[in-house]
Amino acid sequence: MKLIHLSDLHLGKRVNGFSMIEDQTYILEKILETIEDEQADAVLIAGDVYDKSVPSAEAVGLFDDFLVRCSRQNRSVLVISGNHDSPERLAFGARLMTAGGIHVSPVYDGQIRPVTFEDDFGKINVYLLPFLKPAHVKAVLTDDDDREVSTYNEALRTAVNKLSLDSQERNILVTHQFVTGASRCDSEEISVGGTDNVDAGIFADFDYVALGHLHSPQNIRLAPEEEQDGETKLARYCGTPLKYSFSEVSHEKSLTIVEMKEKGDVVLRTVPLIPKREMREIRGSYMEVTTRDFYQSGGREDYLHITLTDEEDVFDAIGKLRAVYPNIMKLDYDNSRTRAQGADLTTVTETKQPSELFADFFRMQNGRDMSQKQENLVRNLIKEIWEDEK
């Protein structure tokens, strides 16, 4: 059986004020072409379909078109909600869509019923586990269940242990979590102190784990090689189909193809995804980056972070540069002045508490200090947020 693994579409996302809908429409078209070329049996989407819990009409329409076209090609689609999605909104009409081969994870209720396929090697059970916090699992525990669920790790272990896995069959998990040891980038939502980490060993009984949440494509080994009894067991973040921050400029975006053969034989490969516009960083003096030889090498329509090295600020630099590079997302300077300022700022922020940094921000925005009541409110909110993340 051949599967396409996608995640973190973030439909409707804006990056530095630029709507990505046109780019997302383009890349979904390329993904549909690949699904057809590969003659894939099913598509796994591991969360963060949308960028917001209340997505825009454009984003909903774009995903609706994608699902309809997959269904018309007789491709099954299996979808879970991520931390950016509203599980209730994403699951609307899910029972009706099942008849068309579209399977959407319901709001977590403590029970996960697999979607089962069959091929020449037998059954393949796909379990859809949406993004979970400890509170989600606590809410569905029965009174006689004495398990402690205060961390993400305990929550995921509890949820997985409740599954009735047949170890003789091939089992796939689609989930949206941060597995310990994986690398992150700037466009992801990061919890304070890494409290959302879960151990890879929780998933060791699955033949393949289709992960979402992290934007950089990477494999996670579910168990040390010597403990795998000759079987290949992997978890994989397929990454985003597009670059959503300048920390991703060196990433090579792709979709992951999973070929499930007999038990213990899983083959992974990737197909590159070439965007409508690249995301790049360029640097040099104003005169250098605006010379014809420099910009005629290509990529004028790309999304750019331009760093000017001029010692003096160029008047209306962003306006002038947009005449050459219309999709500048970010402009800054790297010179003796900015380097000195950056060193000072790093020293200050590393020695101040979050409440002090917020007080500085409030003073800068409003031209006055916070009242005692406002200071108490901020301290309580910071304490409450940080404790909720644990």
Q: Can you give the pLDDT at residue 390?
A: 42
Q: What is the pLDDT of residues 32-71, one digit of tens each?
A: 999 999 999 999 999 999 999 999 999 999 999 999 999 9
Q: Can you give the pLDDT at residue 139?
A: 87
Handedness of CA 105, 109, 110, 111 (dihedral sign): negative
- Mean pLDDT score, 178-206: 73
- Ordered DSSP codes for 143-161: TT------SHHHHHHHHHH
Q: Can you give the pLDDT at residue 287?
A: 94
CA distance 30 to 66: 11
Q: What is the pLDDT of residues 128-171, one digit of tens each?
A: 999 999 889 888 887 666 677 888 889 999 999 889 899 899 99
Q: What is the mean pLDDT of the chain?
A: 87
Q: Can you give the pLDDT at residue 276?
A: 95
Q: Can you give the pLDDT at residue 222?
A: 74
Q: What is the pLDDT of residues 217-236, one digit of tens each?
A: 999 877 655 455 556 678 99
352 DSSP 8-state letter: S
- Ordered DSSP codes for 9-28: --BT-EETTEE-HHHHHHHH
Query: Residue 193 — very low, low, confident or very high, per pLDDT cuts 50/70/90?
Result: very low
Pick the CATH number of 2-272 from 3.40.640.10, 3.60.21.10, 3.40.190.150, 3.40.1190.20: 3.60.21.10
C-alpha triplet 255, 216, 309: angle, nearest 5°? 120
Query: Residue 192 — very low, low, confident or very high, per pLDDT cuts 50/70/90?
Result: very low
Beta strands in 54-114 (DSSP E): 76-80, 102-104
Within 280-371, where are the H helices? 286-289, 292-295, 317-322, 336-351, 354-366
Considering the chain, tell me which residue range(s) the CATH 3.60.21.10 domain(s) occupy. 2-272
Q: Can you give the pLDDT at residue 30?
A: 97
Q: What is the pLDDT of residues 68-119, one digit of tens each?
A: 999 999 999 999 999 999 999 999 988 889 989 999 999 998 889 999 999 9
Q: What is the pLDDT of residues 294-340, one digit of tens each?
A: 888 778 999 999 999 998 989 999 999 999 999 999 999 988 888 88
Q: What is the pLDDT of residues 333-389, one digit of tens each?
A: 988 888 887 665 555 555 667 888 888 788 777 778 888 888 888 888 887 776 554
Q: Can you give the pLDDT at residue 138?
A: 86
pTM of the model: 0.82
Is the per-residue pLDDT at 197 higher than 90?
no
